[in-house]
A and B are shown apart, each in its own frame.
Chain A
Amino acid sequence: MVQQSLTQKLAILSDAAKYDASCASSGSTRRDSRDGKSLGSNEGSGICHAYAPDGRCISLLKILMTNFCIYDCSYCINRVSSNVERARFSVEEVVKLTIEFYRRNYIEGLFLSSGIIRSPDVTMQDMVRIARTLREEENFRGYIHLKTIPDASPELIAEAGLLADRLSINVELPTDASVQQYAPEKDPAQIRKAMADIRLRKEGAKERSFTGKRPPRFAPAGQSTQMIIGADGSNDAAVLGQSTRLYSSYKLKRVYYSAFSPIPDSSANLPLISPPLRREHRLYQADWLLRFYGFSLDEITCATPDGNLDLEIDPKLAWALMHRGLFPLDVNTASRELLLRVPGFGVKTVKRIIATRRHRNLRYEDLTRMGASMKKARAFMTARGWTPGALLDTENLRAKFAPPPLQLSLF
């Protein structure tokens, strides 16, 4: 076989990595290289260094160590039954790419994932070796995200957590049954156990020893996971139910939803569809409502009988339209909890409303300056000089927000 060049390998292995949605580089420990002996910094908030035309940010060098894989997951481009071209990076190549890209300010760090070669332990060992080389030999203080292999031995995961900022394990699909169907070699119970193990190690690393010494921090930017949406038949209620369980059980930082996207060389088990991008977007909105707006799962999923979110309007607006009796709310008196339920008001807007109304009564114009989306909010609130009047009760209120109906083509 002809030796592949570094450019060819990079093309194959970044192409193989693009189905992972996460590219976050935020929320880790603050550190810098002012001592002049090391490279890199992390200041809490992440930086998106570029955007691809798919609208996704490029913050990290997101690559696979290798796309050889012994598993046969139907939805994955790298499954063993796929005829995609294969490549493998050496440890030194990944380290060199990361450092040279970082020095040119292209990236915040590395997101390393891998197909499973030989055995989970062997693969994980190589990934840990890359992270160790970056940290110890190159004195790299940028961000490292390691995609953990759930079947790898706990000692390797323990070491990975000390070197990386974030660990993640993909649950892949919303239900155990669909994982068994489409990813027959993966074991949902094993994935949950590995996530539990990461949570316990992270919590264990917070406890001081009897001398008051703090142990090194374990995966300071937490753990995350990813679910593929639209490959199996699960409805949104099942998806969101799974993610609330994951957030509460393993204290995940994020659950990423990834619309099932066509892959070159598809599997006969899983026909290709065009990716349900809007559904993915609505799921993220619902996820935010659950975590930051005090919504419960039933409140979001009860809006439609089939347990799927309304694709035309956002879940908060859908909820508000179903509970018009609660509105309009007076922005000058309503509680924070209720203000958060007004469509068009975000967490920041509500904070500003509350800070300002300590001094004076709010008018409609004030709200436009506070960042509220008044096109949505106006029907659901009153302020000085503004009342929605009959607007709230109009029958076609939903139609004002939904995209206009499309005329079907006759031919």
Chain B
Amino acid sequence: MTQFVTIPKIGAAGAFREKARRFLNEGVPPEEITWGGAESPRGLFDTSAEAVSTKPIRVPRSFLSMAETVVWHSDADRFARLYALLWRLKNEPHLMSDRGDATVAKLRMLEKNVHRCQQKMKAFVRFREISEPNAARRSFAAWFEPTHFTVEPTAPFFQRRFADMDWRIVTPDVSAIFVDGYLRFEEGAERPALPDDTSEGLWITYFQNIFNPARVKVQAMTSEMPRKYWKNLPEAASIPQMIAEAPARARKMAEAAPTLPPARMQKVQAGLADHNSAWTGLPEEMLQELQSCTRCPLYSSATQAVPGEGPEDAALFVVGEQPGDQEDLHGRPFVGPAGQLFDVIAQSAGLDRSRVYVTNAVKHFKFTPRGKRRIHQRPNSSEVLHCRWWLGQELDRIKPKLVIAMGSTAALALTGSGEKLLSRRGSIETTSAGLRVLVTVHPAYLLRLPDNNVRAEATEAFRGDLVRAVREVSLVAT
């Protein structure tokens, strides 16, 4: 015996869910049910008052979300297809994650059609204003012809978006009406006569002018804005003319000879010289020079050159390798993880950080991009040598008693030799210019050591070097 069921046009999702649950509880196989579509008006479906069984049914959540979309499709067999899958899911619960199964693939396709139709409805509904003069709330109306029964599932989107005005979307099947904050659905209607709207003219002007006639890609347009929607889009009427005129407009641009600049250009450009932006204008000339340094290619990928920082009369001068990710963004040295570690150890070594000048051997950040990260790269000797120019200026200016070279790059820049850092660690070398350089490791090296014991040992040695430096310049913090 076959049972007839009709699902109403309005509220189809809930009705289908209730019927399907009942049939599944009663164990009615799909071939014994004939599902009627939304063509029958509300109230005509079988008024079966049979007790709905309340036995809970377990259904994969992914089926529910799919069913709640597919019920709005215009396909006549949508309910039967859904119930057939539901029936199979009893014994094959994994079916929902099988993207190759033909039944599921078909339903997924229907689901995709409905999603696309909903998306297009959100995009292509065009309201016209129908407000009464002096009304408290403005009101708008639109006529739309969706491919599927998408008004009901899409109306909440418009409710969320246009809550401070009244609106109605009339379609041939179902109309959504939102008045004073309440949404209701009614039977569809004929196309209403809507009054002219001045903003529509502005919109068409915008549409015509945002188009670039030099790059015509009609297919890219029609694949996303199919012709079936054009009749209800006010701007679409001008498309044929825009396409027809495009080649001539593009040719005219190409053929037009370059013109002479207008007379006001010189006046404007003269004015330009006067304006000063807020971010330049650092006091010393050197800092400005440094920012425009192009002595090596590193400038082109880094954000900015990072100058040294500290009191002009510092006795101790600390040189690191190069700015890291954070230093590059902030434009200040020693603010990243290695710089923070240096601060901690320096404090425990009794070094007054505010009385030390800190800088880097290379002033621009060198890195290779990997995904969303920048991986630090050691500067090569040519880059180090090119940047010595700036380090030299800083040393000449500060005239420190002692320089601490942290890591082999700093040692290379200061002493000219970057060899065997660990064997030189802790020694004070004197350069040909008479500069005393204490060679030690870079704090980033401590961060990289994997073994805890080794790291503790190396950290202790590093602290020892800093203590020695403090003693050398008798700069004990009080």
Binding site for B on A (CB under 8 A): 6-7, 10-12, 14-15, 17-19, 32-41, 43, 47-58, 61-63, 70-72, 80-83, 97, 100-101, 103-106, 118-121, 139, 151-154, 175-176, 185, 188-190, 192-193, 195-196, 199-200, 244-245, 247-251, 259, 261-268, 272, 274-275, 277, 291, 297, 352-353, 355-356, 358-360, 362-363, 365-367, 369-370
Contacts and interface: CB of A to CB of B under 8 A. Distances in A.
A236 to B, nearest CB: 16
Interface stretch (B262-270, B347-355, B382-390): B262-270
A55 B215 contact: yes
Contact of B100 (A17, A195, A265, A369): A369
Contacts of B216: 53-55
A104 B197 contact: yes
B124 interface: yes
B210 A80 contact: no
A41 B279 contact: no
A48 B224 contact: yes
Nearest to A175: B300
Given A47-B122, A245-B369, A193 B279 contact: yes
25 contacts: A7-B202, A11-B205, A36-B163, A36-B164, A39-B165, A50-B124, A51-B220, A53-B218, A54-B215, A56-B212, A72-B269, A83-B262, A106-B126, A154-B279, A195-B303, A196-B329, A244-B369, A247-B369, A249-B369, A262-B254, A265-B258, A352-B99, A355-B97, A360-B98, A363-B100
Interface of B: 94, 97-100, 102, 105, 119, 122-129, 138, 140, 142, 157-165, 181, 197, 199-203, 205-221, 224-225, 233, 235, 239, 242-243, 246, 250, 252-254, 256, 258-259, 261-262, 264-265, 268-269, 271-272, 275, 277-280, 291-292, 299-304, 328-331, 367, 369-374
Contact of A53 (B138, B160, B200, B246): B246
Given A6-B202, A39-B162, A19 B275 contact: no
A154 B165 contact: no
Contacts of A268: 258
B159 to A, nearest CB: 7
Given A104-B126, A370-B100, A185 B272 contact: yes
B256 A277 contact: no
A192 B304 contact: yes
Given A71-B272, A247-B369, 12 more contacts: A18-B210, A38-B164, A54-B220, A56-B220, A57-B224, A118-B275, A119-B277, A188-B300, A193-B303, A262-B253, A267-B258, A362-B100
Contacts of B271: 70, 118
Given A80-B269, A153-B279, A192-B303, A266 B160 contact: no
A15 B249 CA distance: 13
B206 A248 contact: no
Nearest to A61: B206
B369 A248 contact: yes
A373 to B, nearest CB: 15
A50 B105 CA distance: 30
A53 B239 contact: yes
Contacts of B371: 247-248, 291
Nearest to A263: B253
Given A105-B126, A151-B279, A266-B258, A36 B162 contact: no
A101 B129 CA distance: 11
A153 B97 CA distance: 53
B157 A33 contact: no
Contact of A247 (B158, B205, B262, B372): B372
Given A266-B256, A369-B102, A196 B328 contact: yes
B150 to A, nearest CB: 14
Contacts of A274: 214, 250, 254
B163 A58 contact: no
Given A50-B233, A104-B200, A80 B163 contact: no
Contact of A365 (B100, B124, B272): B100
Contacts of B253: 262-264, 266, 272
B206 A264 contact: no
A93 B271 CA distance: 28
Nearest to B160: A32
Contact of A272 (B129, B163, B254): B254
A369 B107 CA distance: 12
A287 B197 CA distance: 43
B97 A359 contact: yes
B292 A249 contact: no
Contacts of B165: 39, 103
B209 A261 contact: no
Nearest to A274: B214
A56 B216 CA distance: 10
A334 to B, nearest CB: 16
A121 B275 CA distance: 10
A14 B279 contact: no
A249 to B, nearest CB: 6
Given A34-B163, A244-B369, A365-B100, A55 B202 contact: no
A247 B235 CA distance: 37
B100 A53 contact: no
B199 A100 contact: yes
A153 B264 CA distance: 27
Contacts of A34: 159-160, 163
Given A19-B212, A192-B303, A196-B329, A104 B127 contact: yes
Contacts of B225: 50-51
B93 to A, nearest CB: 11
Given A154-B278, A369-B100, A51 B221 contact: yes
Task: Please name the 7 residue pairs, one residue from A and one from B, whose CB atoms are nearest each other, closest first.
Answer: A55-B220, A366-B100, A55-B217, A81-B261, A248-B369, A32-B160, A151-B277
B157 A43 contact: yes
Contact of B209 (A11, A104, A352, A367): A11
Contact of B370 (A103, A248, A352): A248
A365 B261 CA distance: 63
Given A15-B209, A47-B123, A55-B220, A189 B304 contact: yes
Contacts of B142: 105
A295 B63 CA distance: 35
Contacts of B262: 80-83
Contact of A245 (B221, B258, B301): B301
A102 B348 CA distance: 61
Nearest to A23: B210
Contacts of A106: 126, 203
Given A38-B164, A355-B99, A193 B304 contact: yes
Contacts of B205: 7, 10-11, 14
